[in-house]
Structure 1
């Protein structure tokens, strides 16, 4: 009996620690989601206690989440004032887009060279169809969701686990800027056309030309989005 009791007592801290880790991860994921989606917009500020109340958690997992998010450059922790969501720098976005363009181009080449490339490209085409429908309905939220899925699939379908991990992590900051600037962008039709041209080249099996076509499209979009950010940086973007 004593042995069983001792074993039970020994297990309790492990369970509590495990629960704490899960809560910390849950707090991290939810706060990050709100930042990336711009529900917590640039310069949004909230005390740690109020954030814990909002998430229905104690302050400990929330504090752990905020430490992680500060290291990732999404927020700053201000003593006695909680967290502040950092503005999106046009220069930082330019650098991230440059890296992401290279990663996506590499992923595209890998997809084209896969034995099951036809299935992968068909999956990409479905997202372009969804973008076309959203553009026709002038539903920018639906278009942005389909566009995000399209770009994520480059990494999910490339067959290189390391490239996928790095690429998807880079996309989080880009998605944040893209959602913020979406109402100020030109028509989405041009992007849809560029996506279709990319898929056509991938179907043709021309890996290098497909990567080059995508690179040119991303460079154009990079100029457009960073210019919007630069234009509005003075008012907190």
Structure 2
């Protein structure tokens, strides 16, 4: 009787396949490789990702719990778009918390700024060879490293919880139109680092907030230019 209760999901290989399907489907959603608002059948996703329908279904259930997909009976799996108003609210949270993180680092006596400088150097090298995808990845490394270095684990956790939605919208806008001021972003990063190095918490925080506000305005401009209300 006990044996009859053992489900297929207890199989380690099955769990591993479901995890792989979940990670790949999630990655494609976050990277905006799957069009926001589109509907895809389990079989269609299975062929696309190289998995059978069962792990795709289980991965979709997990992603539905995260708000990234919606399972619609007889229609398939809908890739849930992010509304512009929602992402604006997320940016408001990020601008507040990340600027606080910049101030905390500036006030620290032993902050290691080398990883931030390295991220800027990587951005510059990527820009010079025309690799804007690598530029964007290094840009995100800069912001994530800064928050991770502030010494406030709760602040870091909250910011990282918002990261995927911001990353998703950035990828979407980058596919529509290249970043308008990549060199200016690098210059602003260096200015923030200089303020931290000087121990000027107020300046570091203010520069960081202004940097994020400009980034949001640039993205909003792209979305408005193309009449996009959801991404």
Shared fold per TM-score greater than 0.5: yes
**d(CA) in 1 for partners of 2:76, 2:144:** 33
Is residue 172 of structure 2 the alignment partner of residue 180 of structure 1? yes
SS of the residue corresponding to residue 110 of structure 1 reads: helix
Q: 1:188: Cα distance to partner?
A: 0.6
Cα 1:108/1:14, change in 2 over 3 Å: farther
**d(CA) in 2 for partners of 1:15, 1:94:** 39
SS of the residue corresponding to residue 226 of structure 2 reads: helix
Cα 1:17/1:105, change in 2 over 3 Å: farther
Is residue 220 of structure 2 the alignment partner of residue 192 of structure 1? no
Residues 195 and 203 in structure 2, CA contact (< 8 A), matched pair in contact too: yes
Residues 36 and 173 in structure 1, CA contact (< 8 A), matched pair in contact too: yes
**d(CA) in 1 for partners of 2:9, 2:72:** 32
The corresponding residue for 1:3 is: none
Is residue 70 of structure 2 the alignment partner of residue 72 of structure 1? no
Q: Cα RMSD over matched residues?
A: 2.8
Residues 70 and 80 in structure 2, CA contact (< 8 A), matched pair in contact too: yes
Q: 1:67: Cα distance to partner?
A: 2.5
SS of the residue corresponding to residue 80 of structure 1 reads: coil
Q: 1:74: Cα distance to partner?
A: 2.4
Structure having the higher Rg: 1
SS of the residue corresponding to residue 73 of structure 1 reads: coil
Residues 70 and 76 in structure 1, CA contact (< 8 A), matched pair in contact too: yes
The corresponding residue for 1:125 is: 117
The corresponding residue for 2:138 is: 146
TM-score (norm 2): 0.86
Determine which of 212, 221, 229 is the counterpart of 1:218: 212
The corresponding residue for 2:25 is: 31
Cα 1:236/1:99, change in 2 over 3 Å: closer
Structure-to-structure mapping, 1:1-237, within 5 angstroms: 16=10, 19-117=13-111, 119=112, 121-182=113-174, 183-234=177-228, 237=231
**d(CA) in 1 for partners of 2:146, 2:18:** 30
Q: Which runs of 5+ in 1 are unaligned?
A: 1-6
Q: Which moved more, 1:74-83 or 1:98-107?
A: 74-83
Alignment length, in residue pairs? 229
> Which is richer in helix?
1
Q: 1:49: Cα distance to partner?
A: 2.3
Q: 1:173: Cα distance to partner?
A: 0.7
